[in-house]
Chain A
């Protein structure tokens, strides 16, 4: 299937990436090239095949570990906030969302 520039703008909104009106045609063309590649998968008969979500789930009995529900990390708020674009009083600053 083929995407229109309007559909691409809808996807770009979901992805929170601004795509300008000038870019839209080129982006759409390239995305349609890639969709042409992945559309080959539609013709494959996968009836009865379980989806494989993990690289080792097929042949190896690897199970995801659980750890005790205990605090393991120290408080490093100051370190982590030192790399943020805008903080104040230990809080991350973003544009006002509630008037």
Chain B
């Protein structure tokens, strides 16, 4: 059961082979056993989870179960949850009890899913290694001396170590796809506006998007069916007809045009990553897909553009943390201004403060045009690169990350090296495009490699279809980290 996909667990629940209470208990026990070593969860409330599981079982008895009813799902601790604390990985919100649920939490509750716990993350989703969390780093289950990636590193490790069948994440510059790649799980960042951001603590509002993480692409489709949809409370939520994200799982690969961006296969790519990604692309060719070399000439500018726009938006969004309405407040201060300054100095960690300062600077008088406006113009050039590329291909494939998981501490002292690690995941959110990562093998050290598939706006179903076809022919996505053996279930 621990290594089963959501699709399989859904069938097992429907066939009465297991109850949700039994399933939930199984995963809670595994969390209890492994979390001390992996630190994937910040908060677990067993009583609450088991109560929800019981309700799910009763719902099934009444004949009102859907595909996710009774399935345990872990949520990144950026989604506000009523009745269980929401920390966003920060001291600022270490004791925050949200008075309401995020839209995504409501949707999973309506589907009958069980909230298994809140997962660790880089503070305010700012990081690529999960080392910036106030609650300590998350460890990669394939090698616990290495990072799981970030910022959704807790969700990634939880899925990879089989502590949960599925989890939610958020992606601003790669925070779903990069940790998915580094831990060997599947993760999807949808088109901007598809998943409501209501109750999802804001980092960079023109980029942030929630999405699912699980073992397989078929599971991602099931989870998307629950997560996606219009919500009037998010002004950027798109009013589109509901869609079945699993409708193209049988995608015909013959004739599919796959674009391979020249810039994604250049220098700086680890040889093993290049080899595994190339092998995966060859597999698609073997099924009749046609590969086309494409160019995304402004790729090298994506990281600098992102590190103007994201900090600028963050400096504005995080101004709400002032020690007045909620969150941490410093204990000693001289006056109001001093209270703000001390509260924010104590409540935020180093990386968050760094980004707020950068954002404040690029938006300040005299620098706005040179930095912020210029970055927004280059952002359009990057979006145009994709528009031109999609005239020649249906999907784009390449590596998710230039390297496999790096050692804890390896990049934490050098922000620029850390930022450059996200070069292949930052472009899609700048253009509002969907992207996913699926496992496509291992490097020489036994660490997972991720294949990134990007599509045009609203092409999620096609991307998931291509990923599913690959996963029907390979079993990379079903391999679990050997250091955390799956003990005989039930």
Contacts and interface: CB of A to CB of B under 8 A. Distances in A.
Given A11-B361, A30-B354, A59-B387, A65 B239 contact: yes
Contacts of A79: 99
Nearest to A3: B361
A40 B301 contact: yes
Given A17-B357, A86-B329, A41 B304 contact: yes
B305 interface: yes
A18 B323 CA distance: 14
A16 B344 contact: yes
B336 interface: yes
Interface SS, A side: loop
Contacts of B424: none
Contacts, number: 178
Size bracket, chain A contacts: 35 or more
Interface string A19-62: 10000000100110111111111101010011111111011101
B484 interface: no
A57 B236 CA distance: 11
B315 interface: yes
Interface in B356-389: 356-358, 360-362, 364, 370-371, 373-381, 383-384, 387
B325 A53 contact: no
B429 A46 contact: no
Contact of B380 (A52, A62, A65): A52
B192 A55 contact: yes
A31 B99 contact: no
Report whether over half of chain B's contact residues are helix, strand or loop; otherwise say mixed. helix
B357 A12 contact: yes
Contacts of B319: 16
Nearest to A10: B364
Given A15-B356, A49-B380, A55 B206 contact: yes
B96 interface: yes
B315 A16 contact: no
A27 B316 CA distance: 20
A84 B376 CA distance: 36
Contact of A54 (B206, B239, B315, B348): B206
Given A41-B308, A42-B370, A59 B97 contact: no
Q: Which of B329, B345, B348 has the most CB of A within 10 A?
A: B345
B336 A15 contact: no
B55 interface: no
A55 B236 CA distance: 10
Given A11-B361, A49-B380, A80-B325, A55 B345 contact: no
Those 4 A-B pairs whose CB atoms lie nearest each other, nearest first: A55-B432, A51-B376, A46-B377, A55-B192
5 contacts: A11-B360, A15-B357, A35-B358, A53-B206, A55-B206
Interface of A: 3, 8, 11-19, 27, 30-31, 33-42, 44, 46, 49-56, 58-60, 62, 64-65, 67, 76, 79-80, 82-86, 92, 94-97
Given A36-B416, A51-B373, 13 more contacts: A11-B357, A13-B341, A15-B356, A17-B357, A31-B358, A42-B374, A44-B381, A49-B377, A51-B377, A52-B380, A54-B432, A80-B99, A95-B335
